[in-house]
């Protein structure tokens, strides 16, 4: 079974340029979790699944910490989700940076980090 929490919007200050640390910009995060949700299917209890509010708060907490690289921020999010759901079979985090400041137009840059339990 898979749970996807998508388009968690954040305003953050990630980037290598000094201006990015001062001005900030828009980002979004997707968290995709492979997990045994069979208990929650029958119980209808929040305690038997991954809580969207907790996932949202984990993402917002890590996005509030400035990083030069979005890869670093995505890795912190991945580690936080692994800590929250150690029984997850697989976790994927996609972090999107909109309109990165480059010479020329790039609509977005996306990094994907993941984990698969052996």
Give mean pLDDT, residues 93-117: 92
Which domains, and CATH codes, for the chain?
2-116 (3.30.1130.10)
Cβ neighbours around 44 below 10 Å, total: 8
For residue 102, the model assigns a pLDDT of 80
Report the mean per-residue pLDDT for the chain. Answer: 94
Q: Is a pLDDT exceeding 90 seen at residue 105?
A: no
Distance CA 36, CA 108 (A): 33
Model confidence band, residue 47 (pLDDT cutoffs 50, 70, 90): confident
CB within 8 Å of 3: residues ≥ 6 apart: 32, 33, 35, 37, 49, 50
**Cα distances (angstroms) measured from residue 114 to each of 4, 64, 101, 105:** 13, 21, 26, 28
* H helix count then E strand count, the chain: 4, 4
Model confidence band, residue 14 (pLDDT cutoffs 50, 70, 90): very high
């Amino acid at each position: 079974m898979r749970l996807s929490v998508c388009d968690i919007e954040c305003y953050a200050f990630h980037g290598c340029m000094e201006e990015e640390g001062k001005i900030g910009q828009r980002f979004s995060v997707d968290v995709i979790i492979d997990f045994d949700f069979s208990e929650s299917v029958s119980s209808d209890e929040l305690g038997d699944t991954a809580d969207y509010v907790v996932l949202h708060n984990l993402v917002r907490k890590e996005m509030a910490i400035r990083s030069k690289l979005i890869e670093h921020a995505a890795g912190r999010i991945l580690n936080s989700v692994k800590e929250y759901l150690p029984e997850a079979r697989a976790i994927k985090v996609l972090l999107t940076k909109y309109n990165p400041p480059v010479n020329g137009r790039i609509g977005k840059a996306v990094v994907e980090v993941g984990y698969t339990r052996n």
